[in-house]
Amino acid sequence: MTLAKRIIPALDVKDGQVVKGIQFLNLTTIGDPVEIAKAYQDQGADELVFLDITATFENRNIMTSVIQAVSKEVFIPLTVGGGLRTLDDIKAIFHAGADKIFLNSAAIQNPTLVQEAAQLFGNQAIVGAIDARFNAEKQFYEVYRVGGRQATGINALDWAEQLVSYGAGELLVTSMDADGTKNGYDITLYDLLTQRVNVPIIASGGAGKTDDFIDVFQQTNVDGALAASVFHYGEITIPELKTTLLKKEIPIRVK
């Protein structure tokens, strides 16, 4: 049986509000995370990804109060990340109502955290997040950390394999080149990734039209497609998107 592909809105949160930028810059305020999350659930979103986008950069803990408020109103899976540095941080997020957490900068700095979290909470609850940008000089996709602010010199494909070996049961991979551009998902990146690792992959960055979702599902083996601005601004509605995907014989959950 073919597993249904997942449509996943992303809620980037700063100062308690949902925001959106282009290539991680020029942030615009969208609105209240609880109301937006409820609206996406009503539309038929399969999951929500919640990212506290400045927690790591500002060296502070993630906003558990916002997550608690969202989780009280939303009953689809909620994946949360940003500013998680310790097992206690992760425990607090699960206690606040998250179903899964993702680790990005902290995993690079301390891979043992991924192993410990996977052992404690199960692989299925731990998502390895990768922000990648193509390095033309070195001819590989390079991993960035601290919300896309710092290049690491790490090959993203190699890092994906390492994250899985540490216990990540899923990967959330953002193409920084595509992020916010609405020019389509980075098909090459996700095709390479799905050939390297055997865990579910969520594609993030670049969705601008319905055909972009069709392309990433038909041309790669990703399990989910994440988007923000096209959903936030009503350029694509989830019911219409799912109807179109079904017509293309792409397996999708329908309410």
Active site residues: 12, 131
CA distance 7 to 226: 6
CA distance 184 to 196: 22
Distances (CA, A) of 60 to 57, 180, 191: 8, 26, 35
Q: What φ, ψ does residue 192 adopt, rounded to 5°?
A: -65, -45
Compute how many other C-beta atoms are within 10 angstroms of the C-beta atom of residue 180. Answer: 19
Q: Which of 85, 78, 35, 95 is nearest to 62 (CA)?
A: 85
The token pair that represents 39 in the structure block: 């609206």
Helices 64-73/33-43 angle, 10° precision: 30
Strand ranges for the chain from DSSP E = 6-14, 17-22, 25-31, 48-52, 78-81, 100-103, 126-135, 140-145, 150-155, 170-175, 201-204, 224-227
Q: Which of 243, 217, 211 is nearest to 230 (CA)?
A: 211
